[in-house]
A = this chain, B = another copy of it.
């Protein structure tokens, strides 16, 4: 069934008009999904099996896939012009070059997402279209995709809430002796029951792995006193999540409770300063200052990130980014500190930026105190 067209077509065409591109080519999985509605899992699993959209100024889009995925692409996508290549008989880039020529773009200014397309494919394209001007268009996608449509906000909010709920329910069921990997499996099962097609990533930090950002899962049993951090993302029909919550096994030490409380206060201060017009770097600086008030140095390179079809997308809340927040941006806010005594501290909530403030969308359970695993 054709997916609902959630991309902001008018904005895309407007920004493309500003850039002067005659056409834009999307090659990354998120850009292709955004511009076509076709969710092709092998784009990630089998990188050489390229799928692409060709988006000329004014319309007349085409979707290019390998023939193995053609029936799915036709079923999923709102793009009527679906073309396919047979692997090993024709390269994906040969098909792309042919389509661009067909559309009279052989000598055009073509934008392409060069932060994704591998160099070897790019060089093949440059050779096949010697008169074309191939330019990076990653910023165009970053800009358009950063402002979410209503349908996107609804889907990403549901994904976030379902993920938060799964984490909290898994905490409720966990106990001393539950294994770290077992808690992650429990979350995986719960997001699955809530409609997730698959897990994007799942991290549980505890014990001696409290100091890694993204350790691998293991069968270690939870022990009293463990400060547990979970950072989990799942995908619901193409729309993902990225939520972090913390728990204590048994009773928190004074230091654990204190550090958690300080961390949470900083995160909430960051949310308070977010609204349309505030610069991304200002949110970062607000966290630096709030931590400094507690005598803590923030070591993280960012304190949050735009979220959409990519896990990290514009705007990145980092000190060099002077970009202003805008209404209908979705941002996961996650200042992280690693305390050498208690380990990493991380809460991650989904925020909707509005004209006059920011709304927290991950509101299933209160985070004022550490969740207690009995």
A112: chain B residues within 8 A (beta carbon): 119
Do B88 and A316 have beta carbons less than 8 Å apart?
Answer: yes
Do B41 and A72 have beta carbons less than 8 Å apart?
Answer: no
A87 is contacted by which of B46, B217, B318 (Cβ under 8 Å)? B318
A19 proximal to B (CB < 8 A): no
Do B318 and A71 have beta carbons less than 8 Å apart?
Answer: no
Given A192-B181, A202-B198: A300 in contact with B119 (beta carbons within 8 A): no
A312 is contacted by which of B46, B312, B321 (Cβ under 8 Å)? B46
Given A88-B318, A198-B199: A214 in contact with B48 (beta carbons within 8 A): no
A215 is contacted by which of B72, B181, B311 (Cβ under 8 Å)? B72
Do B89 and A301 have beta carbons less than 8 Å apart?
Answer: yes
A39: chain B residues within 8 A (beta carbon): 216
Given A42-B214, A47-B116, A68-B300: A185 in contact with B181 (beta carbons within 8 A): no
Tally A residues with Cβ within 8 Å of B. Answer: 71
Cα-based distance from A219 to B71 in the complex (angstroms): 20
Do A45 and B88 have beta carbons less than 8 Å apart?
Answer: no
* 0/1 string, A46-85, CB within 8 A of B gives 1: 1111000000000000000011110110010000000000
Do A197 and B216 have beta carbons less than 8 Å apart?
Answer: yes
* 0/1 string, A230-245, CB within 8 A of B gives 1: 0001000110000000
* 0/1 string, A111-126, CB within 8 A of B gives 1: 0101111111111000
A319 proximal to B (CB < 8 A): yes
A217 is contacted by which of B45, B116, B197, B300 (Cβ under 8 Å)? B197
A200 proximal to B (CB < 8 A): yes
A138 proximal to B (CB < 8 A): yes
Cα-based distance from A321 to B319 in the complex (angstroms): 50
A201 is contacted by which of B45, B193, B201, B300 (Cβ under 8 Å)? B45
A contact set with B: CB distance below 8 Å? 28, 39-42, 44-49, 66-69, 71-72, 75, 86-89, 112, 114-123, 136, 138, 181, 184-185, 188-189, 192-193, 195, 197-203, 211-217, 219, 233, 237-238, 300-302, 311-312, 316, 318-321
